[in-house]
Copies of this chain bind each other. A is one copy, B any other.
Amino acid sequence: MNVIPAAIGATQDVIDTPALIVDLDALDRNIARMAAFCRTAGVALRPHAKTHKCPAIARRQVAAGAVGQCCQKVGEAEALVRGGIRDVLVSNEVVGTAKLRRLAALAQEATIALCFDDAAQVDAASRAAVELGVEMDGLVEIEVGMQRCGIVAGQPACDLARRIADAPGLRFRGLQAYHGSAQHLTRQAEREHAIDGAANAVRATLAALDRAGLRCAVVSGAGTGTFALEGASGLWTELQAGSYVFMDTEYARIEGKDGRPYAAFEHSLFVLASVMSVPAADRAIVDAGLKSYSGERGLPWVHGRPGVAAVGMSDEHGKLALGPDAAQLRLGDQVMLIPGHCDPTVNLHDWYVGVRNGRVEALWPITARGASS
């Protein structure tokens, strides 16, 4: 229903704003860089589609070597399968008969996996799989330190794995071991400490599974802040990083090994805004606010305009302060904003406008936008 903000071939200056812009060169480099890391580390890459919510980007990741995608919601899995992705892990628990049936229906045409941390959910998923005449892979999600979902590691996790292995319509495939709250710890040493703890939980569970004679084909987890740690651990077989394709200010604020800003990936995602009011020499207002970028991780950064900073955001406005050396901003001037948090920012938009060399090269619908169910 919303206006498509651009036409293929148009120059960037005529894109209707606000618009969600992807720098295609930077995107391609990010995708290639993570693919190369995983090849070298000898681990599989299953990028998280909760970031981009878009089969067009998923297909580029798969073309670069990713084994498939993961996502958090059944609606996201539907969007991915409809967009040609053949292997999808819902890295999350799925509760309720209606949702389990929707997921099982997808298993009629793709390899589908989901996570469990409770025996009752195993039984419910098994019933849905049997009803639909499919098999789904089950991963046991273990608690690795983030205190969100996840069963206690070790023997309780092993018992749940046994239940999956024994359930009609389900196959036990491995472990979901994702430490979300480790991703944005500022210092490398803090992230290492967190992932050391997660590794201990994985080790304890693998030992219990081994004693029980249950084969664990996959240990899946990691994010853009810690993937190098899980990748080098010898425990994780599959990395789930998502934000690396875009980056955001939150990831840009964490530090690398040497204490300098974390620079593994480039910013490729921007909210393009236009100046709509210049009420004073040191202030400009742009037409993009909380309807165009999420605000819970702070103000966006202004890209490529020295001396200009975002100092306020309301629902439909962004307030910019111009320092003494900043170039003047005029009505209609475009400003590129780097969002604080890429995933929920993407969730506000219907289209990516892919730009290369100043021209619109791609218009990708964000088909899992709003797919929360």
Contacts and interface: CB of A to CB of B under 8 A. Distances in A.
A98 B16 contact: yes
Interface stretch (A38-46, A146-154, A198-206, A225-233): A146-154
A290 B317 CA distance: 20
B95 A3 contact: no
A167 to B, nearest CB: 17
A174 to B, nearest CB: 19
A296 interface: yes
A166 interface: no
Interface in A289-333: 290-292, 294-296, 312-317, 319, 331-332
A373 interface: yes
Interface stretch (A27-35, A131-139, A251-259, A344-352): A344-352
Interface stretch (A60-68, A189-197, A207-215, A279-287): A279-287
Interface string A141-165: 0010001111110000000000000
Given A121-B331, A343-B315, A95 B149 contact: no
Given A290-B344, A348-B347, A16 B278 contact: no
A274 interface: yes
A294 B275 CA distance: 25
Interface residues of A, number: 69
Contacts of A180: 314
A277 B369 CA distance: 24
Which residue of A99, A312, A316 has the most chain B CB atoms within 10 A of its CB atom?
A: A316
A344 B373 contact: no
Contacts of A294: 290, 294-296
A114 to B, nearest CB: 12
A332 B93 CA distance: 11
Interface of A: 1-3, 5, 16-18, 50, 72-73, 75, 79, 92-96, 98-99, 117-118, 120-121, 143, 147-152, 180, 274-279, 283, 285, 287-288, 290-292, 294-296, 312-317, 319, 331-332, 341, 343-344, 347-350, 367, 369-373
28 contacts: A1-B79, A1-B370, A2-B75, A2-B371, A2-B372, A2-B373, A3-B75, A5-B373, A16-B373, A17-B96, A18-B373, A93-B277, A93-B285, A95-B332, A96-B274, A118-B278, A147-B283, A148-B279, A148-B317, A149-B277, A151-B279, A290-B294, A290-B341, A291-B343, A294-B294, A315-B344, A348-B348, A349-B370
